[in-house]
Amino acid sequence: MIRIALVILGLTLTAITARAAEDEAWLNASPSRLYWAFADEDMQADSERVQDLYEEATDALHEDQWEAAIEKFNAVVAAKSHLSEGALYWKAYSLAKLGQRLKALESLSAFRKSSPPSRWAKEAKALELEIRQASGQTPAPEAESDDELKLVAISGLMNTNPERAVPLLEKVLDGTASLKIKEHALFVLSQSGSPRSRQILGRVATGNGNPDLQMRAIEYLGLYGGDENADLLAEILSKSTEFEVKRRILSSFMLSGNRDQLYQVAKTEKDPRLRREAIQHLGLMGDGEHLWDLYQTEPSVDLRKNVIEALFLGHEAELLINVARTEEDPELRLAAIQQLGLVGQDKCGEALVSLYKASKETEEREAIISALWLQGNVDALVSLARAEKDPDAKRAIVGKLSLMGSDKATEYMIELLEK
């Protein structure tokens, strides 16, 4: 009886604890949850219908079905729910997409009258500026107090009156706006192409401005190319003493396809780190001509290795084969062979087999076997293994074949076991 009483007591305590947890969750519930717990079921159903309408309307937006979206957003607005602000905004957006700019502006006017300041206010103001600009109405950026909206206005002004827009952008760059706003201003400025815009961009790229914007300005000068931009970058490169600035300029040369400038840096720059960087960029650009010239004239073995790596990046298989066949320095020959293993068997498989047969150096032959293995060139390895008389070399080839998981490799090893 005592045991039964204890069990009943335990169950009672468990029930009380569970109820207490439920009460605590109830008290900590969000206001909306508490509201719906007491709300009329019809009210809850109405809210769900409005939510469904809003989702259907936004789906229509994604499908560019502007008229269908407007119809559904009108129904959401009429319901006067918490989704009405968003519905008014997207209705105006849809009207603008249909070219009905006047009606779109009317919708935004209704939004301002019916909605207190909200998270949609800035979006609505930006949309209004965009619609007015599309309608040919000249914006007045100076009248905007919000930096983001000011940039929207300046961007529109750049298309119609760049002479007025450029000084405003310069003012944003020299002012106290956030870095994000200044980066946006710099981007808009880089689109201009006017002499004054390039002058401002060059000033920032030189470091005479916000230091955080310097790298971005250098990038834009390269991205939008042109001889004048290239000359300006070359001038900054020659005067700068900062490694990261010079490094970013090399990247800009690559972006603009400026092989000659990169070649000059690779050939004459005193800092070997920057020379390596320039060589790598030439490889990524597939500039075999300049790379081959560098390889033939460069005295440093380390930098010539960098050229070999760049030849691989540029898919210059023939030049790599040439190095592997004719280079007198064994270290450089090995470097070329290793890169040939990464190129692929279609381009250099036969060349590697030929190099193996002609070589007398153990280290070099091992490097060729590894290169063929990297290519997955089972046929070449099996062929070399069949013809190989040196037991150590044959074991090395079979060792690579055992790692390849190939039916042909397996058949050959079974053949060896059966002998």
pLDDT tens for the chain, residues 1 to 419: 333 333 333 433 344 344 444 444 433 433 333 333 333 444 444 577 888 888 898 888 788 888 888 888 888 888 887 787 778 878 888 888 888 877 777 777 776 666 555 556 656 666 766 676 565 555 544 444 455 565 666 666 666 666 777 888 888 788 766 677 788 888 888 887 788 888 888 889 988 876 778 888 999 888 887 788 888 899 999 998 889 899 999 999 998 999 999 999 999 999 999 999 999 999 999 999 999 999 999 999 999 999 999 999 999 999 999 999 999 999 999 999 999 999 877 888 899 999 999 998 999 999 999 999 999 999 999 999 999 899 999 999 999 999 988 888 889 888 888 77
The separation between the first and the last C-alpha atoms of the chain, rounded to the nearest angstrom, is 85
Quick one: pLDDT at residue 322?
95
Quick one: pLDDT at residue 93?
82
- Contact between 342 and 312 (Cβ < 8 Å): yes
Quick one: pLDDT at residue 24?
43
Alpha-carbon span 122 to 116, nearest angstrom: 12
The superfamily (CATH) of domain 48-137 is Tetratricopeptide repeat domain (1.25.40.10)
- Contact between 189 and 165 (Cβ < 8 Å): no
Quick one: pLDDT at residue 27?
33
Angle at 257 between CA 216 and CA 324, to 5 degrees: 120
Residue for token pair 């790298």 = 215
CA 39 and chain centroid, separation: 49
Quick one: pLDDT at residue 399?
92
- Contact between 221 and 249 (Cβ < 8 Å): no
Nearest to 187 by CA among 141, 211, 154: 154
Give residue limits of the domains in the chain.
48-137, 157-257
Write a three-state SS string for the chain.
CHHHHHHHHHHHHHHHHHHHHHHHHHHCCCHHHHHHHHCCHHHHHHHHHHHHHHHHHHHHHHCCCHHHHHHHHHHHHHHCCCCHHHHHHHHHHHHHHCCCHHHHHHHHHHHHHHCCCCCCHHHHHHHHHHHHHHCCCCCCHHHCCCHHHHHHHHHHHHHHCHHHHHHHHHHHHHCCCCHHHHHHHHHHHHCCCCHHHHHHHHHHHHCCCCHHHHHHHHHHHHHCCCHHHHHHHHHHHHHCCCHHHHHHHHHHHHHCCCHHHHHHHHHHCCCHHHHHHHHHHHHHCCCHHHHHHHHHHCCCHHHHHHHHHHHHHCCCHHHHHHHHHHCCCHHHHHHHHHHHHHHCHHHHHHHHHHHHHHCCCHHHHHHHHHHHHHHCCHHHHHHHHHHCCCHHHHHHHHHHHCCCCCHHHHHHHHHHHHC
- Tallying the residues shown for the chain, one arrives at 419
Q: φ, ψ for residue 266 (rounded to 5)? A: -65, -30
> Does the pTM exceed 0.85?
no
Residue for token pair 């000068």 = 221
Neighbours of 150 (CB within 10 A): 23
Quick one: pLDDT at residue 184?
81
Q: In whole angstroms, how far apart are CA 184 and each of 149, 169, 193, 243?
A: 12, 10, 16, 26
